[in-house]
C-alpha cells in the first residue's frame, strides 16, 4: 500500500456517492454524456477567492493566470471574481477577451511572443510583460506601426528564487524576464520611446506550500521593485508580485498558511519605500484558485491481477490528467488523492490496495499506485482530486488517439 495526497475539503457524500457542487458524480457523468470528464465546482472557486481576499491586504489586486484552467465557462465566471487575467499566448488572449475580461486588466507574459501575437495584444490595449530587450524593440516597432502607445511592463528575472517551490522561475540563468541588473535600463528606454510603462512583473516560482518561503520571496520582490523604480526615477503604476501559492497534492503536504502570508504582506505594503508610494500591487495565481475545485472522473473498464498486484483499468489516463501520473514537473511519482466516487465515504471500511491505471499503452499511465480503496469493480467511477488546474489543457490529449475529456462547470 502507498499513501495518497489529502482529499481537499468540500467533498461530501450522499448514500455512498461523491457529491460535487451538490450533484452526484454518476449523475454528472450522465449529464456530460460520458466519461471521462472534468467537473469544476465554481462554488469552491468562489469560496477560495473570498477566503484569500479576506487574508490579503485591502486593495491588493488579484489576477488569475488562465493557463491553469482556461475552460470558457470558468473564465467567464472568473471575470467577476478577480481584478485581471494573466495570459501567455495569442490563443489565451482570445480566451480572455471572449470571456469578457477588459483589455486593460489583461497582462501578457511568456517568452517567444510572435509579432502577430504582440500586434493583437497591443491593438487590444493589453499590457505586455516584456521578456527581453529584443521583445521590447519589436513591441515598440509594432506600436508605432499600428499607431498605439503600447502598454509595457518589464518582467524581471529576480536575483533570488522562491525556496521550496515546485517550479523555479527566477534566480540565475532563465528564459523568463530581463535580468534584474538590466531591468531599470529597459524601463527607462521604453518610457523614453513613448510607451505607456505599466511597471514590473516579478515571478519567482510556483507551487510553494511554505509560508515563510513565500513571505521572504515577497519581501525580496518589494525590495527589488523599489530599487529598480528608484533607478528609473518613476513610480510604477503596478507591481505584479507573482504568486507561487501551492496546493497540497501529495501525502504529507499541508495547506499553505495564507493568513501568515497576508499579515506579512500587509506589513510590507503599509511601509513601502518612497519609490513605490502610490503603486498598486497584484498577485497572480493559477492553481491556488482552481486546482482543488476540480475532479477528474473516469470509469473502470477492467479489473485484473498480475503477480499479486490488482489493477483497475480506467477509460481515462495521462492524456487528460498528466500531472496525476507524475509526469508533469515532479521528480518522484507520488499519489494524488483518489477515491471510488460511487463508494465514497462508506462506513464499513473494507478496503484493499489497487493500482489505478489509464487506458494508454504505456507504463507511464498510472493514476494511482497501490492505493487503499473500497473493492473496485468494472463500471465504478474513479475520482482523481486536485484536477482543476493543469489537467485538460496541460496533458497530451492527442497521444494514442482517444477522445478528449469532457468538461463541465457546476454551481455557476
Ligand X SMILES: *Cc1c(COP(=O)(O)O)cnc(C)c1O
Burial of 308 (0-12, 13-18, 19+ CB in 10 A): exposed
Task: Name the 3-class secondary structure at 232.
Answer: helix
Whose Cβ is closer to ligand X: residue 157's or residue 298's? Answer: 157
Binding region for ligand X (CB under 6 A) out of 189-197, 285-293, 328-336, 351-359: 285-293
Are β-strands 196-202 and 238-240 bridged in parallel, bridged antiparallel, or unpaired?
parallel
The reply to whether 359 belongs to the active site is: no
- Interaction of residue 131 with ligand X, rule CB under 6 A: no
Query: Which residue, judged by CB position, is nearest to ligand X in the bound state?
Result: 286
Q: Dihedral through CA 169, CA 171, CA 175, CA 176, nearest 10? A: 60
Are β-strands 366-374 and 406-410 bridged in parallel, bridged antiparallel, or unpaired?
unpaired
Contact 131/153 with Cβ under 8 angstroms? no
Contact 333/355 with Cβ under 8 angstroms? no
Whose Cβ is closer to ligand X: residue 165's or residue 325's? Answer: 165
Whose Cβ is closer to ligand X: residue 142's or residue 162's? Answer: 162
Binding region for ligand X (CB under 6 A) out of 77-85, 278-286, 319-327, 342-350: 278-286
Q: Using CB under 6 A, which residues numbered 44 to 103 contact ligand X?
A: 65, 67-68, 86
Q: How far is the CB of 86 from ligand X (least distance, A)?
A: 6
Identify the DSSP state of 132. S
Identify the H or E element spanning 295.
strand 294-306
Size of the site for ligand X (CB under 6 A): 15
- Interaction of residue 285 with ligand X, rule CB under 6 A: yes
Whose Cβ is closer to ligand X: residue 86's or residue 315's? Answer: 86
Distance CA 337, CA 26 (A): 19
Distance CA 158, CA 240 (A): 13
Q: Using CB under 6 A, which residues numbered 321 to 380 contact ligand X?
A: none
What DSSP string describes 179-211? EHHHHHHHHHHHHHTT-EEEEEEE--EE-B--H
> Which of 23, 359, 361, 386 is flagged as catalytic?
361
Distance CA 315, CA 183 (A): 49
Q: Using CB under 6 A, which residues numbered 164 to 203 contact ligand X?
A: 203
Binding region for ligand X (CB under 6 A) out of 52-60, 282-290, 302-310, 377-385: 282-290
Q: How far is the CB of 395 from ligand X (least distance, A)?
A: 15
Q: How far is the CB of 64 from ligand X (least distance, A)?
A: 9
Q: Using CB under 6 A, which residues numbered 236 to 255 contact ligand X?
A: 243
Whose Cβ is closer to ligand X: residue 214's or residue 373's? Answer: 214
Contact 312/354 with Cβ under 8 angstroms? yes
Whose Cβ is closer to ligand X: residue 89's or residue 207's? Answer: 207
| Candidate list 38, 288, 296, 344; residue touching ligand X; CB under 6 A | 288
Distance CA 211, CA 165 (A): 11
- Interaction of residue 284 with ligand X, rule CB under 6 A: yes
Q: Which of 22, 15, 10 is nearest to 410 (CA)?
A: 22
Distance CA 92, CA 66 (A): 7
Distance CA 267, CA 172 (A): 29
| Candidate list 6, 236, 286, 326; residue touching ligand X; CB under 6 A | 286
Q: Using CB under 6 A, which residues numbered 205 to 224 contact ligand X?
A: 206-207
Q: How far is the CB of 68 from ligand X (least distance, A)?
A: 4
Task: Name the 3-class secondary structure at 96.
Answer: helix
| Candidate list 113, 287, 320, 343; residue touching ligand X; CB under 6 A | 287
Q: How far is the CB of 284 from ligand X (least distance, A)?
A: 5
Binding region for ligand X (CB under 6 A) out of 40-48, 111-119, 224-232, 284-292: 284-292
Whose Cβ is closer to ligand X: residue 284's or residue 407's? Answer: 284
Whose Cβ is closer to ligand X: residue 39's or residue 291's? Answer: 291
Q: Count of CB atoms within 10 A of residue 7's CB? A: 20
- Interaction of residue 385 with ligand X, rule CB under 6 A: no
Residue with cell 509560508: 211
Distance CA 157, CA 181 (A): 9
Residues involved in catalysis: 361
Residues interacting with ligand X, by CB under 6 A?
65, 67-68, 86, 109, 203, 206-207, 243, 284-288, 389
Amino acid at each position: 500500500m502507498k499513501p495518497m495526497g489529502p482529499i481537499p475539503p468540500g467533498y461530501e457524500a450522499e448514500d455512498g456517492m461523491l457529491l460535487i457542487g451538490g450533484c452526484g458524480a454518476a449523475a454528472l457523468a450522465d449529464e456530460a454524456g460520458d466519461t471521462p470528464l472534468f467537473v469544476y465546482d465554481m462554488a469552491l472557486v468562489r469560496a477560495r477567492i473570498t477566503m484569500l481576499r479576506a487574508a490579503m491586504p485591502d486593495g491588493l489586486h488579484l489576477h488569475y493566470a488562465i493557463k491553469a484552467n482556461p475552460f470558457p465557462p470558468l473564465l467567464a465566471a472568473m471575470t467577476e471574481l478577480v481584478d485581471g487575467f494573466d495570459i501567455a499566448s495569442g490563443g489565451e488572449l482570445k480566451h480572455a477577451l471572449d470571456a469578457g475580461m477588459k483589455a486593460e486588466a489583461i497582462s501578457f507574459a511568456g517568452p517567444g511572443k510572435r509579432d502577430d501575437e504582440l500586434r493583437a495584444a497591443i491593438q487590444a490595449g493589453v499590457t505586455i510583460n516584456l521578456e527581453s530587450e529584443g521583445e521590447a524593440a519589436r513591441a515598440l516597432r509594432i506600436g508605432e506601426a499600428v499607431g498605439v502607445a503600447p502598454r509595457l511592463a518589464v518582467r524581471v528575472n529576480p536575483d533570488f528564487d522562491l525556496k521550496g517551490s515546485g517550479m523555479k522561475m527566477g534566480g540565475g540563468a532563465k528564459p523568463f524576464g530581463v535580468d534584474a541588473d538590466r531591468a531599470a535600463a529597459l524601463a527607462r528606454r521604453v518610457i523614453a520611446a513613448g510607451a505607456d510603462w505599466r511597471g514590473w512583473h516579478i515571478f519567482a516560482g510556483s507551487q510553494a506550500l511554505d509560508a515563510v518561503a513565500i513571505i521572504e520571496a515577497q519581501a525580496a520582490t518589494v525590495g527589488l521593485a523599489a530599487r529598480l523604480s528608484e533607478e528609473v526615477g518613476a513610480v510604477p503604476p503596478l507591481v505584479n508580485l507573482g504568486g507561487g501559492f501551492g496546493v497540497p497534492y501529495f501525502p504529507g503536504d499541508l495547506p499553505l498558511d495564507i493568513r501568515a502570508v497576508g499579515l506579512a504582506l500587509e506589513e510590507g505594503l503599509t511601509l513601502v519605500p518612497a519609490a513605490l508610494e502610490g503603486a498598486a500591487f497584484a498577485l497572480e495565481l493559477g492553481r491556488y484558485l482552481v486546482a482543488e475545485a476540480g475532479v477528474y472522473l473516469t470509469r473502470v473498464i477492467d479489473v485484473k491481477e498480475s503477480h499479486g498486484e490488482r489493477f483497475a483499468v480506467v477509460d481515462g489516463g495521462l492524456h487528460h490528467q498528466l500531472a496525476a501520473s507524475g509526469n508533469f514537473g515532479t521528480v518522484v511519482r507520488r499519489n494524488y488523492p483518489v477515491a471510488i466516487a460511487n463508494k465514497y465515504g462508506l462506513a464499513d471500511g473494507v478496503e484493499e490496495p489497487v493500482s489505478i491505471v489509464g487506458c494508454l499503452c504505456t507504463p507511464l499511465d498510472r493514476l494511482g499506485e497501490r492505493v487503499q480503496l473500497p473493492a473496485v469493480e468494472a463500471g465504478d467511477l474513479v475520482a482523481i482530486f486536485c484536477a482543476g488546474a493543469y489537467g485538460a489543457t496541460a496533458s497530451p490529449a492527442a497521444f494514442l488517439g482517444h477522445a478528449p475529456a469532457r468538461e463541465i462547470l457546476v454551481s455557476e
